[in-house]
Structure 1
C-alpha cells in the first residue's frame, strides 16, 4: 500500500513537472526530468542491505547478523539469527529447485491459485488504470478541454483522490476485509467508466458534460485506490504459502507488466479506431467481469494466519471450518 501511495505522489509530481515545463514546448526536458528521482532511487538502493532472511537463505550468516544489528541495535542478534535459521530449516516441504514452484502451481490444488494470480495481474491493467494515467490529457482534449491547466493540472489533482482512497483502504483493510474493499472498488470503477462512456455517446462538449467526465475520472481513481491499487500486492503476497509466495507474486507482476506493454502500444490506436464511447463501454464490461472473477476466486485473508492459506486452496477455494480464525486482538503485519 505504501508502494501505491508513492506511485500516486510520483504521478502527481510528473504532471506538475510537465505543467511547469509545458510553456517551453520541450518534450525532451519533460521526459528527462524523470532522471532526477531515478538517480536518487539508484543511490538509495546501492546503500541498502538485503534482508536477513535472504542472507541466511544464501548462507551468508555474517551479513545476516550485520543486517539484524542494523534493524535493531539493541536486539540479541545471535538469538534472532538462530531463530531465523530454525524457521527456514522447518520449511522443508516447499519447492526448492528452480522451476519446481511452477510445476506445483500448475497442478491441483494450487492451479486455482495460479488462475487467481494470473487474473489479478491482468485485471490490474485491463480495467484501465494505465490507459487513463498515460493518455488522460489526450482523452480530456478529445472531450473539449484545452490549455495546460486543464490537460495537466486536472489529472494531477485527480491523483489526490487515489491517495486518499488508498490511505483509507490501508487504515481499514484489517477491519473491513480484503474482499469487500476490492469488490466495492471494482464496482465504483465500472460506474466511472459508464459515466465517461456516456459523455462520449452524447457527443456534446458542454460544461455539464465536461463536469460529468471529471466526475467519472474522480470516481475511477477513488475506486482504483480503494481496491486494486491498494490491495493487488497484498493479495499477491497473501494468496500462497511461504515456499510458493515469491513465485506467485512474480507471476502476477509479469502478467501486470505484459498487459501494460499492450496497453501502452495499442490503446491510442484502438481509441482512434472505435471511438471513446466503445472503448469505455468495453472497460465497463471488463470491470464487471473482473468483479465476478474476484467474487468467485479471491480469498478473504482477514484474520487468518498466512501459514494456513494452503487450507483454502486445498479445500477447493473455501476456508475449512476447522481452520481457526486468528484472535482479533493479535495484530499480524502485512506483507507488501
Structure 2
C-alpha cells in the first residue's frame, strides 16, 4: 500500500471536484497526466453501491467453502475406507494410510502457501483464485475416479487427489482474505472478511452431515460439482484495482473501481490515495534481494510478526482437541448417534456464532471481538479441563464407573458450546482479516504467505501430534494448557494488535511508519 498528499481530499467533500490525477501509465512507461472530472450528484458523500462488491465477495469466499468441504470430508468417510469392521482388503486398512489421508491436505497446503505468496503478487488475485479452484477440481476428480480402481492404484489416486485439494486449500487461505481486503470499502471490509471463516464452517458442517448418509464416492461427486460451479463463477470476477495499479494498469483499475462502487460514487479520491501510496513506497518491483532488504524495515517486519504471533494463538486454542473429544463427551451423556449429534450441535453453534461475528466486526471492532473471544475460549477450556480431570483417575474408575462425575456432562457440553461460539466469533476468522489489513501492499503477498505458512505448520503439528500430547499430559492437562496459552493470547492482543476498523489500508500502513 502507498501514499502522498491528496489534492482531491483537500477539497470539501460536499462539493463537486475536478482534479488532475497523476498516475504512472503502463503504455508510456512513465508518468502521464490524466484529467479526472468528478461532478457527481452525491460528490464525495455518495456511498458506494454494495451489490457488485457483495457478489464478488460471495464468490471469493466460496473458496473457503471448498476448504471446509475438504476438511469435513475426512471424519464421515474415513470409516468407509479404513476397514473398521476388520476388512483387511479395505483401501485404508493400515493406520499409516489413515494418517496420510488426514494429513496430506495440510502438507500440500503448507507447500502451496509458500508458492502462493509469490504467485498472488506475480499474476494477480483473480488468477490465483482460479489456481485454487482448478486444484480443487483436479483433486476431487481423482477421488471420483477411484471408483474405477482398487488396491495400490486406488490409494494413489486418493492420496494424489487429497494432495491436490490441499493445494487449493492453501491458495484459498492466502488469496481470499487478501482479495476481499483490496476489493471492499473500509466500512464493510470486516463484514466480508469474516465470511471466509463462516464459509469454512458451513463447508465442514455440510461435509460431515451429508457424509453421514452417503458413501465417500458420492460425497466426492457432490463436492466436485460444487467446485465446477465455483470455478465458473470465479471466472466472472474482476482483478483488484490496487494490484492493477501496482502493474501500472491505471485505466483498467479505474474502470473496475467504477464497476464496483457505482457510477455515482467518486472513485478518484480512492484511486488517488492508492496511487500516492504506491508512489511513496517504490516505483520498481522488488526482486528477492530487495524483498529481503524490505523485511529489515520495522514498518514491514513488525506487522508481519504481529500477524504471525496472532496466528499462533489462533491455532493454540486447542480447537482440534475440543472437536476430537466432542463425540466422547456426547457418549458419556448416553446420547444416541453421538457423532452425528456432536457434528450438528457444534457445527450449528459455530455457524450461528460466526454470523454474529460477521455483523459485529465492523461495529465493535477487531480488537474487542478478538479479546472477548480469547477470554471466553480460555474460560471454556478451563471448565472442560476440570470436567475431564474429575472423570479421570484417581477420582474416577473408568471400568466400574465408581466416582465418575458423568452427571456433570451438561456443564461440559455447555462449556464446549461456549468454546465453539467464543472461538468462532473472533479467533476463528478475524486474524485473517487483520493479517490482510496490516501487512504493507509492497510485500503483502509474501507477508500473508509467511503468516499462512506459520498457520499450516501448526495445523500439521496438531494433526500429527495432538493425540500423543493428549496421552502424555492427559486430556485435562491439554485443555488447561490451551486455556493458559489462550489467556496469554488475550493479553497479547490487548497490547500489540492494532484496531483497524474504519481505517483505509493506506492509513493502517502509515501507522507502522
Is the aligned partner of 1:232 residue 2:419?
no
Q: Which whole-Å CA distance do the structure 1 matches of 2:216 and 2:223 have between them?
A: 12
| TM-fit CA distance, 1:274 | 3.1
| Residues 2 and 270 (structure 1), Cα distance of their counterparts in 2 relative to 1, 3 Å cut | same
- Contact 2:440-2:509 at 8 Å conserved across structures: yes
- Displacement after TM superposition at 1:2 (Å): 1.2
2:317 aligned with 1:127: yes
On the 8 A contact 1:177/1:300 being kept in 2, the answer is: yes
Secondary structure of 1:167 counterpart: helix
Name the TM-score, length of structure 2 as normaliser.
Answer: 0.52
> Structure 2 vs 1, CA of residues 202 and 32 (structure 1 numbering), >3 Å: closer, same or farther?
farther
Q: Give the distance between the partners of 1:261 and 1:98, measured in 2 at CA.
A: 30
Q: Taking structure 1 as reference, are residues 60 and 143 closer, same or farther at Cα in structure 2, changes over 3 Å only?
A: farther
* Bigger-Rg structure (1/2): 2
Closer, same or farther: CA 90–281 of 1 in aligned 2, 3 Å: closer
Question: What does residue 2 of structure 1 align with?
Answer: 195
CA distance in 2, matches of 1:71, 1:306: 17
Q: What residue in structure 2 maps to residue 12 of structure 1?
A: 205
- Gaps of at least 5 residues in structure 1 are 315-336
Describe how 1:116-265 pairs up with structure 2 within 5 A: 116-133=306-323, 135-136=324-325, 139-140=328-329, 143=332, 147-148=336-337, 150-203=338-391, 207-265=406-464
Query: What secondary structure is seen at the aligned counterpart in 2 of 1:219?
Result: helix
TM-superposed deviation, 1:146 = 6.1
Q: 1:111 to 1:186 in 2, by over 3 A?
A: same
The CA RMSD measured in Å over matched residues stands at: 3.4
| 2:242–2:274 Cα contact (<8 Å) kept | no
* 1:221, distance to aligned residue in structure 2 (A): 1.1
What is the number of residues matched between the two proteins? 306
2:305 pairs with one of 115, 140, 162: 115
| Alignment pair present for 1:105 and 2:304 | no
Q: Equivalent residue for 1:327?
A: none
- Give yes or no for contact 1:117–1:248 (8 Å, CA) kept in 2: no
Q: Residue by residue, what CA displacement relative to the aligned partner does 1:53-103 show, whole Å, maximum 9, x if unpaired? A: 43444456786577557647x7399x9699848843651232531444453
Aligned with residue 44 of structure 1, among 217, 233, 238: 233
Question: Alpha-carbon deviation of 1:27?
Answer: 5.2
In structure 1, the residue corresponding to 2:298 is in which secondary structure?
A: coil
